[in-house]
Structure 1
Amino acid sequence: MINLLTPTNWKDYELIDCGNFEKLERFGKYILIRPEPQAVWDKTLSEGEWQKLHHIKFRGRTATSGDWFRKDKSIPDRWHIEYKTKDLDLKFRLGLTSFKHVGIFPEQAANWDYIAESIKMMKTPEPKFLNIFAYTGGASIAARNAGADTTHVDSIKQVVTWANENMELSGLKDIRWVVEDALKYVQREVKRGKKYNGIILDPPAYGNGPKGEKWKLEDQINEMMKDVVKLLDEQEHFLILNTYSLGFSSLIVENLVKSSMPTVKNLDIGELYLQATAGCKLPLGVWGKFRSF
Structure 2
Amino acid sequence: MDSGHGRKFERYGPWRFIRPEPQAMWDSALDDWDADGEFVPASDEDGGGRWVFARPVPREGWELDWEGIRFNAQCTPFRHLGFFPDMAPVWGWIRQRVHGLEQPQFLNLFGYTGVGSLAMAATGANVVHVDASKKSVAQARENAALSRLADAPIRWLVDDCSKFVAREVRRGRRYDAILLDPPKFGRGPDGETWRLEEDLPGLIANCAQLLDADSRCLFLTVYAVRMSALALRELLSQSLGHLGGTIEAGELAIREESRGLELPTAIWARWSR
TM-score normalised according to structure 2 size:
0.93
Which stretches of structure 1, 4 residues or more, deviate above 4 A after TM superposition?
none
Deviation at 1:162, TM superposition (A): 0.7
* Cα separation, 1, equivalents of 2:115 and 2:66: 10
For residues 233-282 of structure 1, what are the alpha-carbon distances to aligned partners after superposition, in whole Å with 9 as ceiling and x for unaligned?
33232111111133222101110100112223122221100001123211
Paired residue for 2:256, among 276, 281, 292? 276
* Cα separation, 2, equivalents of 1:266 and 1:178: 30
1:12 corresponds to which residue? none
* Cα separation, 1, equivalents of 2:37 and 2:115: 23
Deviates more, 1:158-167 or 1:244-253: 244-253
Identity of aligned residues (%): 36
* Cα separation, 2, equivalents of 1:246 and 1:22: 18
1:163 corresponds to which residue? 140
Deviates more, 1:188-197 or 1:277-286: 277-286
1:36 corresponds to which residue? 21
TM-score normalised according to structure 1 size:
0.87
How well do the aligned residues superpose, as a CA RMSD in angstroms? 1.5
Is 1:249 aligned with 2:228?
A: yes
* Cα separation, 2, equivalents of 1:38 and 1:202: 20
Pairs within 5 Å for 1:96-111:
96-111=75-90
Structure 1 segments unaligned to the other structure (5+ residues): 1-15
Decide whether the 8 Å contact of 2:69 with 2:147 is kept in 1. yes
1:21 corresponds to which residue? 6
Paired residue for 1:59, among 34, 40, 47? 40
* Cα separation, 1, equivalents of 2:216 and 2:225: 29
1:240 corresponds to which residue? 219
The SS at the match of 2:265 is strand
Decide whether the 8 Å contact of 2:240 with 2:271 is kept in 1. no
Deviation at 1:287, TM superposition (A): 1.3
Residue 278 of structure 1 aligns with an amino acid whose one-letter code is S
The SS at the match of 2:77 is coil
Decide whether the 8 Å contact of 2:229 with 2:251 is kept in 1. yes
Residue 30 of structure 1 aligns with an amino acid whose one-letter code is W
2:63 corresponds to which residue? 80
Residue 219 of structure 2 aligns with an amino acid whose one-letter code is I
Residue 10 of structure 2 aligns with an amino acid whose one-letter code is E
2:109 corresponds to which residue? 132
Residue 58 of structure 2 aligns with an amino acid whose one-letter code is P
Residue 79 of structure 1 aligns with an amino acid whose one-letter code is W
- Alignment coverage as a number of residue pairs: 266
Structure 2 segments unaligned to the other structure (5+ residues): none
Deviation at 1:154, TM superposition (A): 0.4
Deviation at 1:112, TM superposition (A): 0.9
